[in-house]
Amino acid sequence: MQVRSAFQEFRAAAIAMTPLIVAVMPIGLVFGAVAAAKGLTPAEVTLMSALVFAGGSQFVAMDIWTHPASWAALGFSALLVNIRHVLMSASIGSKLDSFSGPARYASMLLLADEIWAMAEMRASNGKLTPAWYAGLAVPFYCAWVLTSLTGAMLGALLGDPKLIGLDFAFPAVFIILVMGFWKGRETGAVLAASACAAVVTHQLLPGVWYIAAGAAAGVVVAVLSGGRKEAHA
Amino acid sequence: MTVDLDALLAILAMAVATIATRIGGLILIRYVTIGENQKRALEAIPPAVLMAVIAPTALVTGPSETIAAAATAVAATRLPLLASVAIGVISVALLRQVLGGAW
């Protein structure tokens, strides 16, 4: 088998990633525009996209953003929304044989859903090299940061995103992601518990406690229903 | 191009929290064996968190949002992500025109 150069690996991975890069661009633009409508400056938007690089948590942050911003509430909600990364890095972390120790940790800094999915695919039908991972991650990262900045600068021109329904883009993305996690009736129980707890908490308490309450209710139901199934088996 | 100090702190807090989740799994697989219950709990986290985030918007904001959320969910079962998002955004904008919205 011919050994390919690092550059060839990088380029092939970037080409494989192209559809996902195209798909993330409008989302980056919408994020920038929503953030600008929330009163963030283009510099703040760019900084957030560059340092956080996790679309879901960034959209949630715009939902709960206040002036002045509360670092505790925003950090806590980012932790909750992104806790799935623990599972993703635990899974891909066992497939990084050709990475040096520091490279393993460095690569995880760019672990977004789309990059993770493509890296898992590569690991399952080939060899996941550092160059391949970089080819997946770096162009995607650049697209996210640059379209966020562009959206923030154009956002002021677009005016109120609610008028054209753009404020609904992220709830819509989340709804679609939830549908993707559907694995049958047990998922239904988790979702119902989460929704009920979140709505009730949202009515009663200020801030983002509704996210914690919904997440906790969903997890408790998942563990309980699993335990019951084992008892019956 | 200015950065407010509170905003900077909030962004850094988000970044630290997110980085912790990204390297958390690497550390986890070095030290912890995950049993059935732990695995079930971890697997339930993404849908539970996402549902909690959208529930107030989708269920108690107004009829436009609830109907658009349902339309998005149905679209997601057969259309790609971007098309489903477009359906959600367009339907909420139209419904708000027709029904009047909670905005």
Residue-by-residue pLDDT tens, chain A, 233 positions: 456 799 999 999 999 888 788 878 888 988 998 899 889 999 999 999 999 999 889 988 998 898 899 999 999 989 988 887 887 888 888 889 899 999 999 999 999 988 988 898 898 888 999 999 999 999 999 999 999 999 999 976 766 667 777 778 778 877 887 887 788 888 999 999 999 999 999 999 876 788 889 989 998 999 998 876 655 54
Q: How many domains does chain B have?
A: 2
Instruction: State how far residue A126 is from chain B, nearest Cα, in angstroms.
Output: 21
Asked if B22 has any chain A CB less than 8 Å from its own CB, the reply is yes
Question: Are residue B53 and residue B100 in the same domain, yes or no?
Answer: yes
- The domain ranges of chain A are 6-179, 181-233
Q: Indicate the length of chain A as a whole number.
A: 233
Indicate whether B48 and B80 sit together in one domain.
yes
Give me the domain span that covers residue B11.
1-32
Same domain, B49 and B6: no
The burial class, CB within 10 Å (0-12 / 13-18 / 19+), for A146 is: middle
B55 and B42 fall within a common domain: yes
Burial class, B31, CB count within 10 angstroms (exposed 0-12 / middle 13-18 / buried 19+): exposed
B44 & B3 share domain: no
* CB within 8 Å: A71 and B13: yes
Amino acid at residue number A215: A
Peptide bond into A68 cis (omega under 30): yes
Helix (H/G/I), strand (E/B), else coil: B75: helix
- Residue B42 Cα, gap to closest chain A Cα (Å): 7
Hey, what are B5's tokens?
Answer: 């100090």
Contact B22 A111 (CB under 8 A): yes
Of A97, A141, A138, nearest to A13 by C-alpha is A138
Mutate to test the interface with A, among B12, B53, B67 (most CBs of A within 10 A): B53
**Helix A130-158 vs helix A101-108: crossing angle, to nearest 10:** 20
d(CA A18, CA A34): 25
In B, which residues are within 8 Å of A105 by CB distance?
23, 26
Q: Is A12 on the interface with B (CB under 8 A)?
A: no
User: Smallest Cα–Cα separation from B50: which of A103, A189, A1, A57?
Assistant: A57
If asked whether residues B14 and B50 sit together in one domain, one would say: no
| Interface touch B48/A68, C-beta < 8 Å | no
Q: Are residues B19 and B6 in the same domain?
A: yes
